[in-house]
Amino acid sequence: MATSLIKTTPTPFRSGLPIDSMPDHIYSPDKQKSITTMFQNLVGCFQRLTVSTRPDLATVTNLLSKYLVNPSQGHIDHCKHVLRYLKGTKHQGISFSTSKNDTLSAYINHPINSELTSMSDANWGPQDQLSNKLSNPVSLPLFKSRSLSSFVLWLSHPLHWVSKRQTITARSTAEAEIYATDECTKAILQVRHLLNDLNLFSTYAPSTTSIYNDNVAYIKHDY
């Protein structure tokens, strides 16, 4: 891949490429089969990276996975953007260490220690909501306009992460954050039960597990 095509920023989700509003095209059967096969192979590779070492691909992989059956050339083009991003960030990954990482804690504005902790977040609206549609409005199906939930569980390092479209249409940013936090809470309970079964509960989850969130309306409201 040519060096001029390497991308390091932004992440594929923030690239501005509108996955959900890609126009549908009718191709010949052979052309559609070729596009579908290539697309499924690429998304399969992204999925493997997403669940192992690259949480930054979780959102874009989840969005692309919705079009595995009938993708268009536009979806292939977005996969190529992801490949350029991977090429430019191939040295990034997850570091496993028992040492305290003050630099990382300062960078993400959250304490990173040896106890189980978590962070949750959500957007409000579709993936390409920041695009300017005033001159060219785009009508999206209901499920495509739903918000995206994401969370990550930390135990000295990223332990578990999820980014996916919500199944309910949120009517406010605070409501979207509530759904994201609910998903995070269920994951925390699962990990806490696992730690308890392994007799590690007192070491890694001795107290209440904190969930950090950046939505003021959600945090200050008494739920």
Both 196 and 117 in one domain: the answer is yes
Both 71 and 157 in one domain: the answer is no
Both 121 and 159 in one domain: the answer is yes
Share of the chain above pLDDT 70, in %: 81
Quick one: pLDDT at residue 128?
61
Out of 17-31, 53-67, 154-168, pick the least confident.
17-31
Both 110 and 78 in one domain: the answer is no
Both 168 and 61 in one domain: the answer is no
Quick one: pLDDT at residue 140?
63
Residue ending a domain, choose from 66, 88, 110: 88
In this structure, is residue 49 part of a structural domain? yes
Q: What share of the chain is helix, strand, coil (3-state, %, to 5)?
A: 45, 10, 45
d(CA 176, CA 215): 10
What CATH number is given to the structural domain containing 187?
Answer: 3.30.420
Is the pLDDT assigned to residue 76 strictly greater than 50? yes
Both 159 and 200 in one domain: the answer is yes
Domain that holds residue 107: 102-220
How confident is the model over 162-211, as pLDDT tens digits? 998 888 888 888 899 999 999 999 999 999 999 999 999 888 888 889 88
How confident is the model over 132-166, as pLDDT tens digits? 454 555 566 677 778 889 999 988 788 899 998 88
Both 191 and 119 in one domain: the answer is yes
Quick one: pLDDT at residue 173?
87
Is there a contact between 188 and 180 (Cβ–Cβ < 8 Å)? no
Q: To which residue do tokens 């891949």 refer? A: 1
Q: Report residue 1's pLDDT band, with 50, 70 and 90 as the boundaries.
A: very low
Both 125 and 215 in one domain: the answer is yes
Both 72 and 110 in one domain: the answer is no
> Can you tell me the mean pLDDT for 93-102?
71
In this structure, is residue 35 part of a structural domain? yes
Residue ending a domain, choose from 61, 88, 115: 88
Residues facing residue 117 across a β-bridge: 154
Q: Give this prediction's pTM.
A: 0.79
Amino acid at 59: T
Both 169 and 201 in one domain: the answer is yes
DSSP for 45-58 reads HHHHHHHHT-GGGH
- Non-local (6+) Cβ contacts of 196 within 8 A are none
d(CA 179, CA 115): 24
In this structure, is residue 13 part of a structural domain? yes
Is the pLDDT assigned to residue 35 strictly greater than 50? yes
Is the pLDDT assigned to residue 130 strictly greater than 70? no
